[in-house]
Chains A and B, each alone.
Chain A
Amino acid sequence: MKLHIKGGRLIDPCNSVDGTHDLFIAAGKVVAVGNAPAGFTANHVIDAAGKIVCPGLVDLSARLREPGFEYMATLDSEMDAAMAGGVTSLACPPDTDPPLDEPGLVEMLKFRARNLNKARVYPVGALTEALKGVRLTEMAELRESGCVAFSHADVPLTDHQVLYYAMQYAATFDIPVWLRPQDATLARNGVAHEGQVATRLGLPPIPVCAETAALAVILLLARETGARVHLCRLSSAEGINMVRRARHDGVKVTCDVAVHHLHLSELDIGHFDPNCHLIPPLRSQRDRDALRKALAERLIDAVCSDHCPVDDDAKQLPFSEAEPGATGLELLLPLTLKWAEEDNVPLATALARITSDAANLLGIDAGHLSVGAEADVCVIDAGRYWTVEPATLKSQGKNTPYSGIELKGRVTHTLVGGQVAYELK
Chain B
Amino acid sequence: MWLDPRNPQLNKNGELHHLLSIDGLPADVLRQILDAAESFAGVTQREVKKVPLLRGKSVFNIFFENSTRTRTTFEIAAKRLSADVINLAIAQSSTSKGESMLDTVANLAAMQADMFVVRHAASGAPYLIAKHVGPDIHVINAGDGRHQHPTQGLLDMFTIRHYKKDFTQLRVAIIGDILHSRVARSQIHALTTLGCPEIRVISPRTLIPADIKSLGVHVYHDLREGLKDVDVVSTLRLQNERMQGALLASGQEFYKYYGITPDKLALAKPDAIVLHPGPMNRGVEIDSSVADGGQSVILPQVNFGIAIRMAVMSIVAGSWRG
Mark A residues whose CB is within 8 Å of B: 194-196, 198-205, 207, 263-264, 267-268, 270-274, 276, 313, 316-321, 401-402, 405
Docked CA distance A401–B4 (Å): 11
Smallest CB separation, A187 vs chain B (Å): 14
Query: Of B71-79, B118-126, B301-309, which stretch is located at the interface?
Result: B118-126
Contact of B122 among A200, A270, A320 (CB under 8 A): A320
Residues of chain A within 8 A (CB-CB) of B101 are 317-318
Number of A-B contacts (CB under 8 A): 90
Docked CA distance A173–B95 (Å): 50
Contact of B146 among A202, A271, A402 (CB under 8 A): A202
Interface of B is mostly: loop
Interface: B283 (CB within 8 A): no
**CB-CB under 8 A for A202 and B211, given A268-B1, A318-B125:** no
Contact of B124 among A267, A313, A316, A318 (CB under 8 A): A318
Q: Which residue of A lies closest to B102 (CB)?
A: A316
Is the pair B210, A201 in contact by a Cβ cutoff of 8 Å? no
Is the pair B127, A200 in contact by a Cβ cutoff of 8 Å? no
Residues of chain B within 8 A (CB-CB) of A268 are 1-3
Smallest CB separation, B254 vs chain A (Å): 21
Docked CA distance A316–B120 (Å): 15
Is the pair B124, A201 in contact by a Cβ cutoff of 8 Å? yes
Residues of chain A within 8 A (CB-CB) of B127 are 271-272
Docked CA distance A201–B3 (Å): 16
Docked CA distance A205–B212 (Å): 13
Is the pair B122, A319 in contact by a Cβ cutoff of 8 Å? yes
Is the pair A207, B122 in contact by a Cβ cutoff of 8 Å? no
Contact of B211 among A195, A204, A270 (CB under 8 A): A195
Chain B interface size, as a band, is 20 to 34
Docked CA distance A135–B127 (Å): 44
Docked CA distance A272–B128 (Å): 8
Docked CA distance A199–B217 (Å): 13
Is the pair B124, A272 in contact by a Cβ cutoff of 8 Å? yes
Is the pair B123, A203 in contact by a Cβ cutoff of 8 Å? yes
Is the pair B8, A202 in contact by a Cβ cutoff of 8 Å? no
8 A/B residue pairs, CB under 8 Å, sorted by A: A199-B210, A199-B211, A201-B123, A202-B148, A207-B210, A267-B1, A317-B100, A318-B120
Most buried by B among A199, A274, A318: A318
**CB-CB under 8 A for A199 and B123, given A268-B2, A405-B2:** no
Q: In the complex, given contacts A202-B144, A202-B148, A272-B123, what are 10 additional A-B residue pairs having Cβ atoms less than 8 angstroms apart?
A: A195-B211, A199-B211, A201-B123, A264-B2, A267-B1, A271-B127, A316-B132, A318-B101, A320-B123, A401-B3
Docked CA distance A200–B210 (Å): 10
Interface: B209 (CB within 8 A): yes
Smallest CB separation, A289 vs chain B (Å): 13
Residues of chain A within 8 A (CB-CB) of B249 are none
Contact of B2 among A200, A313, A319, A402 (CB under 8 A): A402
Interface: B86 (CB within 8 A): no
Docked CA distance A267–B1 (Å): 8
Is the pair A316, B122 in contact by a Cβ cutoff of 8 Å? no
Interface: B182 (CB within 8 A): yes
Docked CA distance A318–B182 (Å): 16
Is the pair A320, B145 in contact by a Cβ cutoff of 8 Å? yes
Proximity string of chain B (189-232) to chain A, C-beta cutoff 8 Å, 1 when within and 0 when not: 00000000000000000000111101100000000000000000
Is the pair B4, A321 in contact by a Cβ cutoff of 8 Å? no
Proximity string of chain B (1-16) to chain A, C-beta cutoff 8 Å, 1 when within and 0 when not: 1111100100000000
Is the pair B128, A317 in contact by a Cβ cutoff of 8 Å? yes
**CB-CB under 8 A for A198 and B209, given A316-B102, A321-B122:** yes
Interface: B138 (CB within 8 A): no
Interface: B276 (CB within 8 A): no
Docked CA distance A194–B144 (Å): 19
**CB-CB under 8 A for A316 and B100, given A202-B147, A270-B3:** yes
Interface: B35 (CB within 8 A): no
Is the pair A319, B123 in contact by a Cβ cutoff of 8 Å? yes
Residues of chain A within 8 A (CB-CB) of B120 are 318
Proximity string of chain B (129-162) to chain A, C-beta cutoff 8 Å, 1 when within and 0 when not: 0001000000000001111100000000000000
**8 closest Cβ contacts across the A-B interface?**
A202-B146, A272-B124, A318-B122, A202-B147, A196-B214, A199-B209, A196-B211, A202-B123
Smallest CB separation, A286 vs chain B (Å): 12
Interface: B84 (CB within 8 A): no
Residues of chain B within 8 A (CB-CB) of A263 are 2
Residues of chain B within 8 A (CB-CB) of A316 are 100, 102, 128, 132
Q: Which residue of A lies closest to B130 (CB)?
A: A271
Smallest CB separation, B121 vs chain A (Å): 9
Q: Which residue of B lies closest to A264 (CB)?
A: B2
Is the pair B128, A318 in contact by a Cβ cutoff of 8 Å? yes
Docked CA distance A194–B206 (Å): 13
Residues of chain B within 8 A (CB-CB) of A207 are 210
Residues of chain B within 8 A (CB-CB) of A402 are 2
Is the pair A199, B148 in contact by a Cβ cutoff of 8 Å? no
Docked CA distance A353–B145 (Å): 41
Docked CA distance A283–B4 (Å): 19
Smallest CB separation, A130 vs chain B (Å): 26
Residues of chain A within 8 A (CB-CB) of B125 are 318
Interface: B171 (CB within 8 A): no
Interface: B23 (CB within 8 A): yes
**CB-CB under 8 A for A200 and B215, given A205-B209, A207-B210:** yes
